Structure formats: C-alpha cells, structure tokens
Structure 1
Amino acid sequence: MPAMTEADPTDRRQPWAVELDFDRRTVRPIALADAGASMAAGRFVWVDLHPDTLHAAARDLEVFGVPEEVIEDALAGDPATQHARYPHCLHMVLSGCRLRDRDFELQRVDVTVGERFLLTVHADRVEFVEGVKRDLPEDFAHHAQTPSFLIYELWDHLLDRYILVQDQFEERVARLQQRLIGAVDEDLFAEIGELAADLVHFRKVLLPARAVLTDLATRRSRFVSDATQPYLHNMVGTVERVLQDLLADREILSDALNLHVSAVGHRTNVIMQRLTVVSVLFLPLTFLVGVYGMNFDNMPELHWRWGYAAFWGVTAAITGGLLAFLARKKLL
C-alpha cells in the first residue's frame, strides 16, 4: 500500500486529498485537480481544505456539486454541531474541542458527504481529523465496507476527544475540590467560575452531537449505509455517558463549593459565639464601672472603708457565676 503523504503541516491552506479504492482496499494521495477523474473511475475521494482556499478551489470543487449555502456556511458559521440533508449530499458541522491550560476552545469542522466524495473544511489543525488521517490506511484496509466508514471514523475520533476533554475536566474538578479544603483566595473562586462556565459550554456541545448522531443512526439515508448505522447508534450511548460524567462533575464542584461555604459559616459562628461570651462577661462589669464612675457627691460606697474590696468581690462573684453558667450550657 502506498505511504500516506500529507500537505506541509506548516501551511494548513494547502489542499489535502486522497483516493480510496474499496475494491482493492488501497489509499492513494492525489492532487485536488484529479478528484473528478478518480470519482469518474468509481473511486471515493476525501478532500480536506482550509476555508481560505474554498473560493480559489471553486472550479475543482464543482465536480462535487456542493450547494452554495454549504460553502457560505463553512466560511461564516458558528462552531455548533448540526447537520442538513440535501438531494446530492449530507452536510454536517462537527465541533472539535480542546483544553489549553484553562481555556476551553471549540474547532469547527464542516463535513460534506456525497456518493463519491467526502469534503472536510476547517481553519486550524484539528486533532480528531488528524487522527483519522493518521489511522486511515490501516483502518481502511481492515474495517472499511462502505464509504460511510469515513463518517464513522470521524465521529469515533471526535468522541475520543470528547472523552479526553471530559477526563481533563474531571481532573480540574478534583484539584479544585482539594484546594477548597485549605486556604482559599479570590483566584480560586475565579477559577471555579471559569470551570463551571466551561462545563456548561461543553454540555452545549454534547447535546447537539447526541441529536445529530441519533438522527444519523435512525434515519435512512443513501449517504449512511445500514451497516454503519448500528455503530453510530452505539456512539449515542457513549455521548450519554460523557454527559452523565459531565453532570456528575458539576454536582461534585457545586457540592464542594457548598461545603466550603458551610465550613466558612461554621467558623464564623464559632467566632461570633466567642465574642458573645466575652460580651456577656463584660456587660454587668461595664454596668458596675459605669455606676461607680459617676461624679455624684452623695454616693455612700465611695467613702466606705471596704468599698474597693467589695467592688472586686462583687466583680469576681459575677464573673465566676457567669462562667459557671456558660460552662453548664456548653457555650465555652
């Protein structure tokens, strides 16, 4: 089998194309201009393009018969998973994703499938597309039965990326959960807020992916073979499991934050209790000091020989009585 060659990875704008022969189980790199001849010979063609080259390659793409609205959508659309059916092709938008430090990024990939071609359009290097290219020769030789094999491969590698991203989210949740146990600063709460927003964003990616997969697996189409549909249906279960793990991570993060707030509230209550005990002890003593600190001449206790000692005796009795009372009530 010929070795697979790829366009210069430093120039993503260079078209990439291969010819797949299902009879001989061979994969052969071709030029974009030769795609029409390969299709006319009964072979299947996969072309991978950068959006900036769509207009320049318009003449070569005419042989595919891709609707104009698909081209325009690939140039200006949002990275939201969706699909549309046309008389001569099936158009899907797949949302690749990746985590770079604390940044959650989406990568749009437009996939157009016809009877004899697969056209993918994306701006940056997308890991799941590169994974399909890397594994294509071996997987094609051993597993390919129909052209919709490539649809399965794209979704399979995409779901692997979703699982990887979910595992990375799970690790971040676990780290933040541990950090909430110790000293907490404002940066930690900012990171928790970012993670919560990323989890919600990821959920918005998974829900449309589940809907598109369900439609592809259950609705008959000449672009998706009956042999491929059961495998796509199994992928729906995979998306469901990722969604369940995602919801579990959100609950764990929420419970950890609530536990931290409860712990802070408990510590505040303990401090307030201690301050209350001090206030209770000093309130009657403050009253006595206030009474005998008044500047009235007719105050008999001021001229009493044992007045000073009696004051301290009363002070000690009140303090001792209050301490005994508070200790019995378990307030100390």
Structure 2
Amino acid sequence: MANEATERAPGCSAQLVGFDFASKREFALGVGELEAAFERQNFVWIDVTFSDVDATRAWLTELGLISDDVIDEALTREAATQLSRYDQYLHFVVSECHLVGRALELERIDCVVAARFLLTIHRHGASCLDAVRKNYPQDFQRFAKTPSFLIYELWDQLAESYILVQRALEERVDELRIRLVQRADDEAFNRVAELGSDLLNFRKVLLPARTVLQDLGTRRSLFLSSTTQPFLMNLVGTVEHVQQELLVDRDILAGALELQMSLVAHRTNKVMRKLTVVSMIFLPLTFLCGVYGMNFRNLPELEWRHGYALFWFTAGAIAVLVGWLCRRAKLW
C-alpha cells in the first residue's frame, strides 16, 4: 500500500501504517515516529516478518511494546491458536492454513492488540494479512469507527481461507471416493491415509480457532470494541459451518473406505465359494483315488476287464452329482 512504510532491520522487516479515525486518514510512518503517533492518539499497525530469531528478539525488545515472554513465545513456538490476556494488551495466536500440493501447511501469526497499536508477527509471508492490506482501505473509509475493525478484517480473511481449504479437501475426498470404487491400489490407500491426517490436523486448527473467536466475541475487553464483537460472533458461525463440512468430508472418506473393504471382502467370498465347489467335487474323487491306489492284492476291480471304465464312470457321476447339488444350493 502507498500509505505503508517498510522498516528494514537485521533478521526482520516491519511494515507500519497509522490510522487517524477522527479524520479518516491513514498515513505511513517509521519506527522513530511511533511515540509521536501515540501522543496524537493515532492507532498504528506494525506487521513484522522475521527470518532470524535472535536479531528479531533484539529489535522487538528495543521497540519496547511487548514483554520478553510474549516475544519468545511468538518467535519460537509452533503454530497453535490461543488467547492470553494482559493488563496492557491482548495476545492471541492464529494459524493460517494453506495447501501446498497435497500437504497441509500451517503458518503461525501472533497478534498483540493494545490501545494504540496492533502488532502482528510471523515468520513467512501471510496471505491473510496481504488480503487485509488489500481490503481494509475501503472498509476504513466507509465503516470503521474503532481500531477493532482490523481484528475483524483479520478473522474474516482467516475464515475465508478456512473455507477455501475445506473446499480443496472436499475435492480430494470426492476424487479419492471415486478412485477407491473404480481402481483401488496401494497409492490410493496411501493417499487416504494422508488425507485423513490432513482432515484431522485441520480440525485441530478449527476447534481452538472457534474457541478464541468466541471468547473475543463475547468477553468484554478494553482493547476490543463492543461494536465489533457481534461481527466476530457471526464469524463463529462461519467457522462452525466449516467444522460441520469437515466432519461430513471425514464421514464420506470413511464410508468410501468401508465400501472398498466391503467390495474386497465380497470378491474374496466369491472366489472362496468357487474354490469350495472345486474342493467338494474333488474330495470324493480323491477318496476313490486313495482307495484304488492302496497296495493290496485283493482288489477285485483291478482284475476286472471293465474296472477302469467303471472308475471313470463313477468319478464322472460323482462330479456331476456334486456339481448339480452345488448349483442347486447356489454356491456358484
């Protein structure tokens, strides 16, 4: 944005933009102008992208806006949505989700909201924050009355990203469902396992996100306008809807897998029934072969002229009879 200033520091960069809600004016400023902006009762959004933990820790400590504990947590912890309340500010963590190929990746974004500033900290580029930068100028001019509108803008973009991820996962579920029915192989089962893991991980993101969002939307705070809270509660419904759709996707995937297992079991049963018929036919024939294969001299049929023909007639009659009985019993 034209009204943003970018500050370069060792191991990180910061984009700063100031807001004057009385005159509906936004303006660029540097880190050295923060104190003057605070004295003028302006609100400042500071977005920090870091690559080096130690250098960024030193820069944030020198900035002096948040405590060392919050700095360490923001720079070293894994992505996990949570909310902490302090006397001087609110600190909440959100997890941005996006799909890279077939892998679900999470990006931790720490947000610190105080009376005069919003500080966002993240390691890599955050698409939801880019969307906030793109969309907030119009909302700021038309609707915004308090700095809390930035919190709503952030959660609105997060909810939109959750919807997009859920739709992408839904397409993968439908693709795998068709593949399991038509042509199941080892790769298909591996992809089912991967997708099941992604669905579970995504659910682990949505559950705390809903809890934090509901807390922000219901519990009063000095740093969050009461006029913004009803809009945050509307987003709670959006996140709940995504959760329900995710559960449906998981049920569909489980149903497709169970159907495939049932088809495999059915095909196995058909093969076993055929093998059973063959065994039933050859079992009495094996008995006859065993009898006439014994090394006894007193076997009258061996000396009889028509003994060989009688053996084959008996064997054929038994095979036909057993086959007819199996057919009648619908074994094949």
Distance 2:101 2:18 in 1: 38
Kindly state the Cα deviation for residue 83 of structure 1 after the two structures are TM-superposed: 0.9
Q: CA deviation at 1:7?
A: 4.3
CA distance in 2, matches of 1:229, 1:331: 68
State the 1:6 CA deviation.
6.3
- Runs of at least 5 residues in structure 2 that lack an aligned partner in the other structure: none
Confirm or deny: 8 A CA contact 2:57 2:72 kept in the other structure. no
Q: 1:106 to 1:6 in 2, by over 3 A?
A: farther
Contact 1:12/1:124, CA 8 A, preserved across alignment: no
Higher deviation after alignment, 261-270 or 76-85: 76-85
In structure 2, the partner of 1:25 is: 24
What is the CA-CA distance between 1:231 and the residue it aligns to?
0.4
Kindly report which structure 2 residues correspond to 1:50-129, keeping only aligned pairs within 5 A, or say none: 50-51=49-50, 52=52, 53-59=56-62, 61-62=63-64, 64=65, 66-129=66-129
CA shift digits 1:99-132 (9 cap, x unpaired): 1012111111110011111000001001111111
- Written as runs of structure 1 = structure 2, the 5 A alignment for 1:1-332 is 3-5=2-4, 7=6, 13-51=12-50, 52=52, 53-59=56-62, 61-62=63-64, 64=65, 66-332=66-332
Distance in 2 of aligned mates of 1:7 and 1:141: 23
Shift of 1:23: 1.6
Q: How far, CA to CA, are the matches of 1:176 and 1:188 in structure 2?
A: 7
| Superposed displacement of residue 133, structure 1 | 1.1
CA distance in 2 between partners of 1:100 and 1:262 (Å): 33
Task: Report the TM-score, using the length of structure 2 for normalisation.
Answer: 0.94
Counterpart residue identity of residue 25, structure 1: K
Q: Provide the aligned C-alpha RMSD in A.
A: 1.8
In the alignment, residue 47 of structure 1 is paired with which amino acid? I
The one-letter code matched in structure 1 to 2:277 is: V
Q: Is the 8 A contact 2:173 2:249 kept in 1?
A: yes
| Structure 1 residue runs without a partner (length 5+) | none
Q: SS of the residue aligned with 2:222?
A: coil
SS of 1:181's equivalent in the other structure is: helix
Letter of the structure 2 residue corresponding to residue 37 of structure 1: A
Q: C-alpha distance in 1, partners of 2:19/2:5? A: 15
Tell me the alpha carbon deviations over residues 239-289 of structure 1, each in whole angstroms, 9 at most, x when there is no partner. 111111111111111111111011101100000000000000011111112
User: Cα–Cα, structure 1 residues 179 and 315, in superposed 2: closer, same or farther, change >3 Å?
Assistant: same
What SS class does the counterpart of residue 49 from structure 1 fall into?
strand
Query: For the Cα contact (< 8 Å) 1:32–1:47, is it kept in 2?
Result: no
* SS of equivalent to 1:225: coil
Whether the 8 Å CA contact 1:81–1:209 is kept in 2: the answer is yes
**2:12 is paired with a residue of what secondary structure?**
coil
SS in 1 for 2:97: strand
How many residues end up aligned between the 2 structures?
Answer: 327
Q: TM-score, normalised by structure 1?
A: 0.94
Q: Distance in 2 between matches of 1:188 and 1:34?
A: 57
TM-superposed deviation, 1:294: 2.2
Percent identity at matched positions? 48
Contact 2:60/2:71 (CA < 8 Å) preserved in 1?
no
CA distance in 2 between partners of 1:157 and 1:319 (Å)? 74
Secondary structure (helix, strand or coil) at the match of 1:23 reads coil
